Amino acid sequence: MAGGCEAYSCSEAHARGQAESAGCCPFSQKREKKVLVGIPLTEPNYHASFRGQVVDAIEAALAECPVEHQIVVTSRTVERGLRGVVEATNFLAEKCVAERWDYLWVVEADVEVPKHALRTLLQGDADINLGVYPNHREDLRLMAGYFEEQNNCVQPIVHSVFDLEKLKGRIFTEMVWAGIGCALIRRRVFEGLRFVYDRREYRRKLGVHDQLFLFEAQRLGFRVFLHGDVVCGHLPEWSLQKLEAKGWGLRVGDDV
């Protein structure tokens, strides 16, 4: 990383009044979990215009869940595009390991999490717990599926099981994948694994860095859960408000 990062401390969160206004202060109770919240940005700042909306949603989720935390927004990267995303996310992974946080919660800079997201993901008995969100197109197709072998190659295949109505309130396991835009990852996963940018590997197997990371994690024996009741917005096309207006079941999590 060329420029370090920005961090929001607990005192700043109190000063903003986010936790108090939500009626539950994450620092007023026993600190059972330590969660590093990481927002990877690249140079130039990819999706930086959504930062306020993304951070506000994260703080609302933190207010629902009593954990010790720090929100880190990465700054300049040497690389650009997907290479920059990989660089920024690995910077966060290294920080998680070096500072011995229990988890890294990756929230990409264009993903708006629902308020129950962290609370629900922490309840998952897995090494990696994933929320879901639609792609940037108008068809509202979920960026989620599971891995399947075809012609001696492992491929991420999207199946109808990830239609929203079948997804609601369910947890999927067994070689699943999703976009890494809302992912709660235990520190131990990063003690031997990082995100990689390998164009040859993309063409041969898996397509993108997050799918390759999730495949390798599960191949190494780490458990991955896909949470059908953590439906996130994907900006700018699909904010939480717009998804709710479309009937995409964001209220499901209120009963979790």
Model confidence over 226-250: pLDDT tens digits? 998 899 999 988 899 998 887 765 4
pLDDT cut 90: percent of the chain above it: 40
Q: Answer yes or no: is pLDDT of 100 > 80.
A: yes
Q: Answer yes or no: is pLDDT of 12 > 60.
A: no
For residue 194, the domain's CATH number is 3.90.550.40
Amino acid occupying residue 3: G
| Domain count within the chain | 1
- pLDDT at position 143 is 79
DSSP secondary structure string, the chain?
--S-EEEE-HHHHHHHTHHHHTT--TTSS----EEEEEE---SS-TTGGGHHHHHHHHHHHHHTS--EEEEEEE---SS-HHHHHHHHHHHHHHHHHHTT-SEEEEE-TTEE--TTHHHHHHTS-SSEEEEE-B-SSTT--BSEEEEEEETTEEEEE--GGGSHHHHTT-EE-SSEEE-TTEEEEEHHHHTS------HHHIIIIISSHHHHHHHHHHHTT--EEEEEEEE-EETTTB-HHHHHHTT--GGGGGG-
pLDDT cut 70: percent of the chain above it: 70
Model confidence over 35-79: pLDDT tens digits? 999 999 876 665 677 888 999 999 999 999 979 999 999 876 777
**Structural domain boundaries, residue 147:** 5-255
Kindly report the pTM of this predicted structure: 0.81
